[in-house]
């Protein structure tokens, strides 16, 4: 007996047909880096269910989270499978002519000697990223502290940085925290370098850039460069296009999609899969993986997380919550104000065009980090899908490292500047309705719902900050 299950997932409208009890393909053991000779990436515009079934038979590797308005998705397929698309009249175009050519060029660049090379001239492996974090700690004493959030499936450290200036927090406990994590998906290398570039730029700019100074004086940034250490190592040693973590899920399958393993929206067939072999396999339960446990537990232990970006590639999108459903989140006006400002700041800084929106421009994705941060912590949270729009996909040439880092720097600056934390009603003004909510928190004291200083309580220091915002009335 066979069962067919329709899945709408981030990156593609996937039709997964599974035969009950059918064995999955064996896990390949690579003696060297996997090769993808003859593979291309096609941008397909499915006309309906039949096209979805066909493309899923040809490919198990969707590459994009694409705007549904365009109706297109990117897949890696063998070149000789193009004839099948043509035969069935499926609308498509080739966006990458030869995947292996991109991989060969990237590998050649990685093998060049690093003498006299600046860090952001190339990508770095797990140890290289760890060493760079240590160099920032040494170069910026009092500003950067290395911490460990936990360990991966294979026991690798999930390291992070606490980045803030020596200016003491108002209230004396801890500044409000902004969390910026990258590389939940192992093949998205540009996310690591962009996160580190943004961090370095803020530190370098502290003495000369008033915006960088105000951010580091008023907030603490927690930077998690590699959220999926085992998967990242695997992309350097075995399979450059690996996505998931390295959990053994059966005798023949590996990997859980960490960005389908968070609890809010977990388990929905719209936006994730229960199939062990799927690239969007959500795992057996929410937070089944030590990587998602480490990041979520850390954020739960912070007195006040006020904003978060989950950094991915590619497609040049800024995606608000909710990802798992089409319903609008509470406080949509405030969220849109910040999200649109992020998009516009990138265009002004680098000229790159990003699209901002929610599930109305994206196929549903359930069990994601931003939905959890927003739904559980109440913090502003978005997914950032970085460059490019498909010409290179995940194998972004090193010439994109600094421009994409500038994109992230612009979006982070704008997001933090536009936070209007005294606007409790999320209507983009600070008025009497917000005062009523603040006063209730102030009377309770121990609650952090009115906490503006980041110390986990609502007290006189918060009252001073609220009064200043109340006098300004309009959110920035």
Q: What is the DSSP string of 55-90?
A: HHHH-S-B-----TTTT-EEEEEEGGGHHHHHHTT-
Q: Output the CA–CA distances (angstroms, integers) from residue 380 to 61, 110, 281, 345, 363, in the order listed.
A: 31, 37, 26, 17, 21
- β-strand 144-151 against 39-44: which pairing, if any? unpaired
Q: What is the pLDDT of residues 411-431, one digit of tens each?
A: 999 999 999 998 999 899 999
What is residue 410's predicted lDDT score, i.e. its pLDDT? 98
Start-to-end C-alpha separation, the chain:
60
Contact 283, 258 (CB under 8 A): no
CA pair distance 308, 374, nearest whole angstrom = 9
Distance of alpha carbon 387 from alpha carbon 145, whole angstroms: 29
Which has the closest alpha carbon to 26: 276, 258, 283? 276
Residues contacting 95, CB < 8 A, separation 6+: 41, 42, 43, 74, 390, 391, 393
Structure tokens at 257: 């999609």
Residue in the structure block whose two tokens are 């026991």: 155
Q: What is the pLDDT of residue 168?
A: 95
CA 277 to chain centre: 22
Residue 10: its pLDDT value, please? 39
- Identify the H or E element spanning 355: strand 355-357
**Residues 220-240: what's their mean pLDDT?**
98
pLDDT surpassing 50 at residue 25 = no
Please check the confidence at residue 71 and state whether its pLDDT lies above 70: yes
pLDDT at 117: 57
Least confident of 4-13, 224-233, 343-352: 4-13
User: Distance between alpha carbon 292 and the CA centroid of its chain, in Å?
Assistant: 13
Q: What is the per-residue pLDDT for 70? A: 58
pLDDT score, position 446: 64
- Cβ(244)–Cβ(258) below 8 Å: yes
Coil/strand/helix, residue 5: strand
Position 441 scores a pLDDT of 86
Tokens of 82: 């193009």
Q: Give yes or no for residue 68 having a pLDDT over 70.
A: no
d(CA 435, CA 373): 25
Topology, domain 2-103: Alpha-Beta Plaits (3.30.70)
* Omega within 30 of 0 (cis) for the link into 27: no
At 359, is the pLDDT very low, low, confident or very high (cuts 50, 70, 90)?
Answer: confident
* Per-residue pLDDT reduced to its tens digit, 272-313: 999 999 999 999 999 999 999 999 999 999 999 999 999 999
Break the chain into its structural domains and give their ranges: 2-103, 107-418, 432-472
Lowest mean pLDDT among 77-86, 200-209, 264-273: 264-273
pLDDT digits (tens, 9 = 90+) for 236-255: 999 999 999 999 999 999 99
Query: Higher pLDDT residue, 179 or 438?
Result: 179
The residue count for the chain:
476
Token output for 83: 């004839």
E strand intervals along 115-156: 144-151
Q: What is d(CA 105, CA 395) in angstroms, rounded to the nearest whole number?
A: 9
Q: What is the pLDDT of residues 75-125, one digit of tens each?
A: 999 999 999 999 999 999 999 999 999 999 999 887 765 545 588 999 999
What was the pLDDT predicted at 17? 30
* Weakest-pLDDT range from 188-192, 196-200, 319-323, 423-427: 423-427
Residues 55-65: what's their mean pLDDT?
Answer: 85
**To which H or E segment does residue 247 belong?**
none
CATH code at 107-418: 3.40.630.10
Residue with tokens 């250490």: 229
Is the distance from CB of 195 to CB of 169 less than 8 angstroms? no
Residue 374 predicted with pLDDT over 50: yes
Distance (Å, rounded) from C-alpha 282 to C-alpha 263?
A: 10
- For residues 260-278, give the mean pLDDT: 94
What average pLDDT does range 356-376 have in this prediction?
91
Give the SS3 label for residue 92. strand
What confidence score (pLDDT) does residue 19 get? 30
- For residue 109, what pLDDT is reported? 83
The average confidence (pLDDT) of the chain is: 89
How many angstroms separate the CA atoms of 57 and 81, rounded? 10
Whether 458 and 472 have beta carbons less than 8 Å apart is answered as: no
Tell me the whole-structure pTM to 2 decimals. 0.90
């Amino acid at each position: 007996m066979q069962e067919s299950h329709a899945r709408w997932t981030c990156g593609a409208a996937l039709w997964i047909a599974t035969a009950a009890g059918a064995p999955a393909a064996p896990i390949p053991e690579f003696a060297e880096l996997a090769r993808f000779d003859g593979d291309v990436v096609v941008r397909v515009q499915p006309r309906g269910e039949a096209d979805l079934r066909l493309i899923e038979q040809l490919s198990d590797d969707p590459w994009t989270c694409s705007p549904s308005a365009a109706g297109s998705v990117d897949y890696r397929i063998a070149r000789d499978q193009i004839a099948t698309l043509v035969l069935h009249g499926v609308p498509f175009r080739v966006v990458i002519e030869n995947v292996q050519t991109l991989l060969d060029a990237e590998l050649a660049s990685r093998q060049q000697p690093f003498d006299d090379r600046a860090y952001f001239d190339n990508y770095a492996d797990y140890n290289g990223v760890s060493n760079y974090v240590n160099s920032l700690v040494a170069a910026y004493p009092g500003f950067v502290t290395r911490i460990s959030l936990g360990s991966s499936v294979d026991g690798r450290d999930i390291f992070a940085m606490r980045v803030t200036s020596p200016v003491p927090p108002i209230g004396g406990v801890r500044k409000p925290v902004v969390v910026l994590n990258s590389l939940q998906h192992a093949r998205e290398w540009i996310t690591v370098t962009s996160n580190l570039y943004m961090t370095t730029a803020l530190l370098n700019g502290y003495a000369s850039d008033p915006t960088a100074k105000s951010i580091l004086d008023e907030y603490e940034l927690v930077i998690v460069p590699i959220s999926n250490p085992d998967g990242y190592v695997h992309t350097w040693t075995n399979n450059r296009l690996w996505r998931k973590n390295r959990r053994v899920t059966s005798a023949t399958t590996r990997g859980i999609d960490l960005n389908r393993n968070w609890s809010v929206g977990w388990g929905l067939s719209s936006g994730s899969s229960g199939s062990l072999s799927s690239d969007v396999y959500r795992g057996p339960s929410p937070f089944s993986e030590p990587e998602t446990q480490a990041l979520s537990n850390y954020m739960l232990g912070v007195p006040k997380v006020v904003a978060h970006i989950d950094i991915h590639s590619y497609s040049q999108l800024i995606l608000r919550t909710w990802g798992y459903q089409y319903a609008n989140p509470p406080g949509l006006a405030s969220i849109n104000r910040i999200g649109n400002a992020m998009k516009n700041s990138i265009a002004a800084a680098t000229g790159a065009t990003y699209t901002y929106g929610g599930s109305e421009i994206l196929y549903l994705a359930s069990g994601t980090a931003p939905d959890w941060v927003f739904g559980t912590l109440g913090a502003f949270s978005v997914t950032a899908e970085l460059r490019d729009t498909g010409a290179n996909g995940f194998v972004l040439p090193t010439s994109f490292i600094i421009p994409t880092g500038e994109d992230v720097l612009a979006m982070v600056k704008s997001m933090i500047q536009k936070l209007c934390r005294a606007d409790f009603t999320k209507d983009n003004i600070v008025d009497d309705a917000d005062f009523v909510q603040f006063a209730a928190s102030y009377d309770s004291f121990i609650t952090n719902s009115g906490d503006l200083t980041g110390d986990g309580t609502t007290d006189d220091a918060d009252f001073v900050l609220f009064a200043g915002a109340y006098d300004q009335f309009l959110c920035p």
